[in-house]
């Protein structure tokens, strides 16, 4: 297939390409041809895709062009090609969920996909993920490991590995992912893109493969906070207040929490990037207020027990009857969940409400948005984190999700945005954490930061 367009079209952000398609500056068919070609070449180099819907997506693009010619636009994303983490059901289409044997083609399409379809988007493929969306590195022993487009020997992060790698490499304008304990924010941070973990249930989960029903969230990986806001308005339930238009206004009323961190726990480059970001926000008029951290370690331990017990209960039957469909690592992790006593699980759940009240009192009494690290250390290599089914799994994972899993346990919204680079060339990101259902607040702060910086516009070597 000959490429119909230059790569410049693929580098536009979601809002820009949607406007170009609406205005007829580019045809949906030409854009889809280019998108599929890039997914085949660059996507293969990164192992970012699980499947491509070539003919089906091209046919849909041609239909979109005909409709536009007749003045009929389906919605704000008319003709925009998107690919999503391979864990959302679409009628009649197998879903791998990152396993060796896919789920049978489902009868229903996931709510999130249905809403994007209704807005006019065209799904052109599915993206890499950890088995059952349960793993923070981007390793997958069935599909092969996903690669980081900034340095391909380093992890992409997971479990939304494909969405982060594909959006960073400009292979998809945005992507749906999921976040149970950091699975959007961590890969977004590792790949230098913007990731939105919403308040739990802000986006309907129907038709997304279940993991931990107390902590799972459907979310967004995109190239900017503005694009996340645009998609959230499409994905949220009807009747909810619009977010996108409200994230571009006056900043001075917002107070940002500057975390008082144990400097031994966070690499100097990451701590410096947080300070620099807060300095930029302060110069824009935000009030920056130091905040002492509550005991995140106890939230993290409780979050581990809730998540591990629930996902193991969900997949226990498959683990017993068909263990070979899971990797050795996944078998070991599911076994951990089965070994959690019911009393520990119930304690961890009952602690959740108290912990949230404590966090709100300690943090959100004095600030509106809290800045925290995503990763505490430079992004590791694929080899360094390839622990298989060994007992090192827990410590390796815990080191990656130190500041992520506690926020998931609390159910809070959080936005991961790139704020710099390590000397190695790998991105540095922070997360902006908000009150329950205040996605608008964190998106507003993120959008302000991205108007003053261009970290999110930098292109990785594979793009």
Partner 1 sequence: MNDAEALARALLRWNGLGARADAAAPALAAGMTAQRAAVQKAYDDLPAAAEPAWFAAELKRGR
Alpha carbons 9 and 125: distance in angstroms, whole number: 19
Q: How far is the CB of 240 from partner 1 (least distance, A)?
A: 31
List the one residue from 97, 302, 415, 428 that touches partner 1 (CB under 8 A).
Answer: 302
Question: Would you count residue 361 as binding partner 1 (CB under 8 A)?
Answer: no
Q: How far is the CB of 335 from partner 1 (least distance, A)?
A: 5
Contact string (CB under 8 A) for partner 1, positions 316-335, x = contact: x--xx--x--------x--x
Residue 255, phi then psi, degrees to nearest 5: -110, 130
Question: Would you count residue 350 as binding partner 1 (CB under 8 A)?
Answer: yes
List the one residue from 56, 74, 287, 336 that touches partner 1 (CB under 8 A).
Answer: 336
Cα angle: 302, vertex 303, 304; to 5 degrees = 90
Catalytic residue chosen out of the listed positions 159, 160, 161, 429: 159
195/303 with CB nearer partner 1: 303
List the one residue from 53, 150, 351, 403 that touches partner 1 (CB under 8 A).
Answer: 351
Can you say whether the dihedral through the CA atoms of 256, 261, 267, 272 is positive or negative? positive
Catalytic residue chosen out of the listed positions 96, 161, 183, 429: 183
Q: Which region among 180-188, 265-273, 350-358, 362-370 touches partner 1 (by CB under 8 A)?
A: 350-358
Determine how many CB atoms are found less than 10 A away from the CB of residue 325: 17
Q: What is the 3-state secondary structure (H, E, C) of the chain?
A: CCCCCCHHHHHCCHHHHHHHHHHCCCCHHHHHHHHHHHHHHHHHHHCCEEEECHHHHHHHHHHHHHHHHCCCCCCCCCCCEEEEECCECECCECECCCCCCCECCCCCCCHHHHHHHHCCCEEEEEECCCHHHCCCCCCCCCCCCCECCCCCCEECCCCCHHHHHHHHCCCCCEEEEECCCCCCHHHHHHHCCEEEECCCCCECCCCECCCCCCCCCEEEEECCHHHHHHHHHHHECCCCCCCHHHHCCCCCCCEEEEEECCCCCCCHHHHHHHHHHHHHHHHHCCEEEEEECCCHHHHHHHHHHHHHHHHHHHHHHHHHHCHHHCCHHHHHHHHHHHCCCHHHHHHHHHHHHHHHHHHHHHHHCCCCEEEEECCCCCCCECCCCCCCCCCCHHHHHHHHCCCCHHHHHHCCCEEEEEEEECCCCCEEEEEEEECCCCHHHHHHHHHHHHHHCCHHHCCCCCC
Question: Would you count residue 338 as binding partner 1 (CB under 8 A)?
Answer: yes
253/361 with CB nearer partner 1: 361
Q: Is 212 a catalytic residue?
A: no
Cis-peptide, bond into residue 273, ω within 30° of zero: no
Alpha carbons 404 and 398: distance in angstroms, whole number: 10
Q: Is 287 a catalytic residue?
A: no
| Total of residues contacting partner 1 (CB under 8 A) | 29
250/262 with CB nearer partner 1: 262
Q: Which region among 9-17, 126-134, 342-350, 377-385 touches partner 1 (by CB under 8 A)?
A: 342-350
Q: Which region among 131-139, 197-205, 216-224, 344-352 touches partner 1 (by CB under 8 A)?
A: 344-352
170/352 with CB nearer partner 1: 352
Q: Is 10 a catalytic residue?
A: no
176/355 with CB nearer partner 1: 355
Contact string (CB under 8 A) for partner 1, positions 261-300, x = contact: ----------------------------------x-xx--
List the one residue from 49, 124, 141, 304 that touches partner 1 (CB under 8 A).
Answer: 304
List the one residue from 82, 348, 412, 432 that touches partner 1 (CB under 8 A).
Answer: 348
Q: How far is the CB of 353 from partner 1 (least distance, A)?
A: 8
Site for partner 1 in 378-407 (CB under 8 A): 391, 393-394
45/338 with CB nearer partner 1: 338
Contact string (CB under 8 A) for partner 1, positions 181-220, x = contact: ----------------------------------------
Residues lying near partner 1 in the complex (CB under 8 A): 295, 297-298, 301-302, 304-305, 316, 319-320, 323, 332, 335-336, 338-341, 344, 347-348, 350-351, 353-355, 391, 393-394
Residues acting as catalytic residues = 85, 159, 183
């Amino acid at each position: 297939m000959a490429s119909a367009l230059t790569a410049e079209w693929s580098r536009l952000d979601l809002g820009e390409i949607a406007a170009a398609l609406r205005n007829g500056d580019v045809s949906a068919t030409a854009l889809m041809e280019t998108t599929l070609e890039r997914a085949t070449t660059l996507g293969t180099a990164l192992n970012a895709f699980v499947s491509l819907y070539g003919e089906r997506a091209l046919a849909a693009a041609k239909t979109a062009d005909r409709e536009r010619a007749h003045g009929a636009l389906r919605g704000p994303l008319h003709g925009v090609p998107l690919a999503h983490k391979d864990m959302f059901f679409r009628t009649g289409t197998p879903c791998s969920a990152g396993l060796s044997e896919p789920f049978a083609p489902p009868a229903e399409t996931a709510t999130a996909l249905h809403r994007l379809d209704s807005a006019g988007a065209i799904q052109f493929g599915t993206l890499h993920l950890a088995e059952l969306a349960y793993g923070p590195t981007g390793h997958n022993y069935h599909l092969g490991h996903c690669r980081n487009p900034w340095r391909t020997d380093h992890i992409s992060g997971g479990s939304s590995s494909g969405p982060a790698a594909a959006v960073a490499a400009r292979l998809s304008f945005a992507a749906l992912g999921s976040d149970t304990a950091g699975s959007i924010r961590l890969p977004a941070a590792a790949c230098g893109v913007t990731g939105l973990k919403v308040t739990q249930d802000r986006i309907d989960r129907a038709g997304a493969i279940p993991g931990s029903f107390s902590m799972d969230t459907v979310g967004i990986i995109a190239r900017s906070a503005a694009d996340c806001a645009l998609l959230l308005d499409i994905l949220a339930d009807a009747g909810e207040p619009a977010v996108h238009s409200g994230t571009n206004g006056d900043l001075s009323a917002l107070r940002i929490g500057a975390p008082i961190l144990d400097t031994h726990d966070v690499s100097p480059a990451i701590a410096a990037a947080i300070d620099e970001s807060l300095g930029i926000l302060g110069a824009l008029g935000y009030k920056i207020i130091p905040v002492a951290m509550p005991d995140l370690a106890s939230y993290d331990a409780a979050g581990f027990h809730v998540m591990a017990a629930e996902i193991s209960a969900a997949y226990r039957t498959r683990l017993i009857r068909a263990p070979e469909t899971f990797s050795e690592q996944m078998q070991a992790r599911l076994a951990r969940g089965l070994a959690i006593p019911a009393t520990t699980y119930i304690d961890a759940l009952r602690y959740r409400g108290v912990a949230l009240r404590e966090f709100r009192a300690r943090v959100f009494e004095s600030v509106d948005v809290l800045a925290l690290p995503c990763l505490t250390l430079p992004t590791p290599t694929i080899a360094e984190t390839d622990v298989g089914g060994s007992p090192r799994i827990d410590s390796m994972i815990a080191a990656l999700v130190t500041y992520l899993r506690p926020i998931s346990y609390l159910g809070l919204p959080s936005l991961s945005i790139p704020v710099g680079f390590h000397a190695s060339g790998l991105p540095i990101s922070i997360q902006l954490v908000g009150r329950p259902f205040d996605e608008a607040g964190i998106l507003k702060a993120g959008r302000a930061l991205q108007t003053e910086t261009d970290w999110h516009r930098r292109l990785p070597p594979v793009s």
